[in-house]
Amino acid sequence: MAEIEDKYTDILQDVSAFWNKNPNGILVIRGATATGKSKLSILLAKDIPSEIISADSRQIFRHMNIWTDKVPLEIRNQIPHYQIDIVDPNQTYTAGQRKQDTQKYINQILNNNKLPIIVWWTGLYIDTIYKNFSLPESSPNRELRKELEEKEKQDPWYLYKELSKIDPEEAQKMHPNSIRYLIRALEIFYTTWKTKTEGFFQQPVEQPLFLLWLRREKEETNKKINARIKQMFQEWLIEEVDWLLKQWYQPDLQSMQGIGYKEIVGYLQWEYNKEKAQELLKRNTHHLAKKQRTRFRRYIAEGKASPKPNVTYKTYYL
């Protein structure tokens, strides 16, 4: 299989042409886990005046470094990176905050005559740019969230049933076990008296976008995932999660519920052995990569059937 270096000349040529044509443009690098998104962004930033914005839902958290595979600090000191290490693991960061901050960084980078490169991991966050969603103004409400969590514990599927009454269109998009997203949708309604469907709509893309997709075959992706997980176990992943727990970052926090943390927490709480934790982590990451590929294929299909104005779509097969 080809690697980033094998495709880099073509990628650099295409990105340079886009940047020359669209000095107010934005590059978005997307792809499933283990496809080399961060590596490509760094290579490009060395050849094109650029700064990088992370669209990863876990890299925002301080102290969570190994599983999130953050770009090393020495590289970040050379090439500015944004949306990394901005909140503690017990804090929240909404899509609305992400959109506002991302646009701020985009404007700042463009004002410095550089290309903003967004490295895409989390679909919802990048949709705030690609689909330019209008997001309801609703700050996190910890007391309300705890109340909703308790109601769900006492009456399973309470959240889903409640949202189905209030916002049936949004409820249809969710699984009844998607607790965090159900709570957020209800939180928006209870704090704004407007449903997510009413306040969450697409707008035209404001600035030229180059959506660059790195695509690797499933078998090769899974091999790289397995190798990465093995390496992370050698690089103190277990010790990092153990440290987080000892700092009283509880397992039910949003930050600790993601893949890579909940599996290690299970091991540290004696639910299974280290080998089982590693196998669970591999399996769950493979499933995540599958979901990412499915999501990305939808964007490709949209780019072919009804491309958005102001958007360039390009796929590179590795």
**Lookup: tokens for 103:** 């646009």
Please report which confidence band the pLDDT of residue 282 belongs to, taking 50, 70 and 90 as the band edges: very high
Average pLDDT for 250-274: 90
d(CA 160, CA 178): 9
220-286 folds as: Helix Hairpins (1.10.287)
Residue 153: Cβ within 10 Å count: 10
Q: Would you list the domain boundaries of the chain? A: 4-135+202-218+292-317, 142-199, 220-286
**Edge-first strand listing for the sheet containing 209-215:** 81-82, 50-55, 115-120, 26-30, 209-215, 311-317
Q: pTM for this one?
A: 0.81
The yes-or-no answer to whether 4-135+202-218+292-317 and 220-286 have a common fold is: no
**Residue 122, phi then psi, degrees to nearest 5:** -95, 120
According to the model, what pLDDT value does residue 136 have? Answer: 60
List strand residue ranges (DSSP E) for 163-281, in order.
209-215
Tens of pLDDT, residues 209-244: 999 988 888 888 899 999 999 999 988 999 999 999
In DSSP terms, 118 is beta-bridged to 28, 53
189 forms beta bridges with none
CA distance 114 to 51: 7
Q: Cα 300 to the chain's mean position, in Å? A: 18
pLDDT digits (tens, 9 = 90+) for 64-109: 999 888 999 999 999 999 999 999 999 888 777 888 898 899 999 9
The label of the residue with tokens 């949306």 reads 83
Q: How confident is the model at residue 181 (pLDDT cuts 50, 70, 90)?
A: confident
Q: Which fold has domain 142-199?
A: Histone, subunit A (1.10.20)
CA distances from 143 to 148, 151, 188, 226 (A): 9, 13, 14, 40
Residue 1 confidence (pLDDT): 47
What pLDDT does residue 27 have?
96
DSSP state at residue 70: P
Each residue's pLDDT tens digit, 15-50: 999 999 999 999 999 888 888 899 999 999 999 999
In words, the CATH class of domain 4-135+202-218+292-317 is alpha beta
